Structures are given as C-alpha cells and as structure tokens.
C-alpha cells in the first residue's frame, strides 16, 4: 500500500439489522433434501434470517443498520459527506445507495453502490478511508448489506443452505494520523475464476425481431463449492500474512480475526494455517449463515455490543468471494 495520508480514519459508530424471520436447518430440510447434521457439520450454520414480505429490499435492512449507527452517537445525518453501499443484491441496478441517503435524511451526502460480493464491505471500508485520508471528506457511512435469498434457487440444496440476509453499517470520521485505525490493507482480484461464484446475466436465445438485440435477466447464485473452499483457505492466509509483514507486524500481534462469515470450516482452516488460536476468531454464522457483504460489519457490531473488543486491540479483517476478489484490513480498534 502506497499512501499519501494527510488524515487518519476513525470508527465513530457501528449498527446492524437482521430480518425477523428465521429458518433453521430442520425447517430447511422440509424445503430441500438435507439435514441439520449435514449442514452444521460442513458449514457451522444452524439457522439464517430471511427478508420476507412484499416489496421488502436491501434498502430496508441497510437503512435500519445505518439509523442504529447514527442513533448510537446521536449524529445529525446531514453531517455525512458520503455513503457507500456495498451490495450485490440491490433493488435497482442504477444503485440503491441514493434511496438510503433519502431515507436517513443525509441531505449533504453523495451516495453510490459498490459491487464486490462477499468482499464488498472490505473494499467499501478501504475506499472510504482513501477519501478520508486525502482530506476530501470528513464523515462517511459505509454499509454492507445483502439479501441473497432473492437470488437463490430454493430447489438447489448445494447453495440455498448457505446464505442469509442482513446489513451492517459503520460511520467513519477523519482524525489526526496518530489516531488512525486502518493500519494497512491488501486487495486482490483474479477474474480467471469468476465462474466459480456468480449471479450471471443471461441473454434470451431469440433476439428482438427487428433490432437483432438480445435481452435477458439475471440467474440464480451458482457456485463451485469445492473450488471456492480451496481458494479461500489458500489465498486468505497469504493476504493476511503479506498485509501484516509489510507493516512489520506478525500474527502474534493479532487480538481478533474477523473473516467473512462464509463457513466455519474456512474460518478455522485460515486460523490454523496462520497459527492463530481459534478463540481469537469472531464468528456468528451459526445464527445468520453467509450474509455476503453484511457478514463482517454485522459480526463487528455484535462483538462491540458484547464488549469483546478492547481499546487498541488489533483486528485483522479479511473478505473473500465472487470475482474472485479478496482482501485484508489491519485495524487498531479505538474504543467508541
């Protein structure tokens, strides 16, 4: 990371939101041929939350999470300069961030969507920190939110058991460099393997009769589970190691490992490869499954609410997923 930093980044508040409807593994086994034992032993997931109800969308959850973060510090939303919504399940392909800007009353904020699947929150946080460190903006809301339940083939047992819906938000503020929380980051993409995980757009075979133009629609989540597993357990430890070593830190400095909540076996395998004790892993996926871009901010918000994280703790955050895109952030936690 080359940095021309004039300001640091500080987290002011976090918030999260989950739908009220839950579906446990036994209930799942009435929808597809599976069992609690199969799902739990391979993924660590016990239940997930689903956004039910007509016209409910990612913006409902994202707005709720953002409002909770604002309420925690009684912040006037007009103070926010920028909103970044990391999502792969928008309710408008032109972007959903502007709807959140309107719903929370962030009248002075510019707002845009960022699409990077399960790594979306990590890329959103890094993007926001660049705007802060250059001095362009002072206060930024970053949201990770997804409702992949709308994009899942509910007859495909190899994918439908994995995902759940949720949202998490953080409010960031620029600060003196000595108080900076984002110590380093490391980001990667390898598009050669984009087929391993996608929600692909597909043209209809027949074109428009006059224009010879094909139109179509997006399909369901498709995943090569074995390849994604191998990719995550090989590349994530490398990214973390590189990110640590380039600022002369080692795994011994880590207090918390906060990985994208894809699968408990992946979390444990990454920790094991790095020789990090499993009691440093932050995990909540047994309750929510894989909530894609929401998983990291949701787990962070819960860990803070449970008072698990102390001032000056080093948190290693790593996202990985479709793209394939993955990355790491080293954060020094400053109590809020």
Q: Which residues bind ligand ACO (CB under 6 A)?
A: 34, 38-39, 42-43, 118, 157-158, 161-162, 197, 223, 225-226, 228-229, 232, 260, 262-263, 265-266, 290, 320-321
Neighbours of 201 (CB within 10 A): 11
**Residue among 196, 260, 263, 284 flagged as catalytic:** 260
Q: Distance between alpha carbon 95 and the CA centroid of its chain, in Å?
A: 17
Positive or negative: CA dihedral 21, 286, 42, 193:
positive
Nearer residue to ligand ACO within complex by CB, 139 or 260: 260
Structure tokens at 8: 């640091």
Instruction: Please state the closest distance from residue 251 (CB atom) to ligand ACO, in A.
Output: 22
**Residue among 180, 184, 263, 290 flagged as catalytic:** 290
Name the residue with the smallest CB distance to ligand ACO.
225
Nearer residue to ligand ACO within complex by CB, 180 or 328: 328
Nearer residue to ligand ACO within complex by CB, 99 or 159: 159
Nearer residue to ligand ACO within complex by CB, 18 or 161: 161
**Residue among 118, 160, 175, 243 flagged as catalytic:** 118
Q: Is 260 a catalytic residue?
A: yes
Query: What does the alpha-carbon distance between residue 191 and residue 175 come to, in Å, rounded to a whole number?
Result: 35
Structure tokens at 247: 């600022």
Contact 228, 162 (CB under 8 A): no
Instruction: Please state the closest distance from residue 191 (CB atom) to ligand ACO, in A.
Output: 15
Q: Is 118 a catalytic residue?
A: yes
What is 255-276 written as a DSSP string?
SEEEE--S-HHHHHHHHHHTT-
Cα separations in angstroms, 301 against 72, 165, 167, 181, 332: 12, 16, 10, 16, 15
Instruction: Please state the closest distance from residue 166 (CB atom) to ligand ACO, in A.
Output: 13
Q: Is 160 a catalytic residue?
A: no
**C-alpha gyration radius of the chain:** 19
Instruction: Please state the closest distance from residue 86 (CB atom) to ligand ACO, in A.
Output: 14
Catalytic amino acids?
Answer: 118, 260, 290
């Amino acid at each position: 990371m080359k940095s021309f930093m004039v300001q640091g980044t500080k987290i002011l508040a976090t918030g999260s939101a989950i739908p009220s409807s839950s579906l446990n593994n036994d209930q799942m086994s009435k929808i597809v041929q599976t069992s609690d034992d199969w799902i739990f032993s391979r993924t660590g997931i016990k239940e997930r939350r689903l956004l039910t109800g007509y016209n409910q969308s990612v913006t409902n959850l994202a707005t709720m999470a953002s409002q909770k973060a604002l309420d925690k510090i009684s912040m006037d939303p007009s103070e926010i300069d920028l909103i970044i919504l990391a999502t792969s399940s928008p309710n408008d392909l032109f972007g959903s961030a502007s709807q959140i800007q309107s719903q929370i009353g962030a009248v002075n904020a510019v707002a845009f969507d960022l699409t990077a699947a399960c790594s979306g929150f990590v890329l959103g946080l890094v993007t926001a920190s660049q705007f802060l460190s250059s001095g362009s903006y002072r206060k930024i809301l970053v949201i990770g939110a997804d409702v992949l339940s709308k994009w899942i083939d509910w007859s495909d047992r190899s994918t439908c058991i994995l995902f759940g819906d949720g949202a998490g938000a953080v409010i960031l503020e620029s600060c003196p460099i000595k108080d900076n929380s984002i110590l380093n980051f490391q980001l990667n993409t390898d598009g050669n393997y984009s087929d391993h995980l996608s929600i692909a757009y597909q043209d209809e075979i027949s074109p428009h009769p006059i224009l010879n133009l094909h139109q179509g629609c997006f399909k369901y989540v498709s995943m090569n589970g074995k390849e994604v597993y191998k990719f995550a357990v090989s590349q994530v430890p490398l990214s973390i190691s590189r990110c640590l070593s380039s600022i002369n830190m080692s795994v011994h400095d880590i207090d918390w490992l906060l990985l994208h909540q894809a699968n408990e076996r992946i979390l444990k395998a990454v920790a094991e490869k790095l020789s990090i004790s499993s009691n440093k892993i932050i995990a909540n996926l047994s309750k929510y499954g894989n909530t894609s871009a929401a998983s990291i901010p949701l787990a962070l918000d819960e860990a803070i609410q449970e008072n698990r994280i102390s001032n000056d703790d080093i948190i290693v955050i790593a996202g990985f997923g479709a793209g394939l895109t993955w990355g790491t952030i080293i954060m020094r936690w400053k109590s809020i």
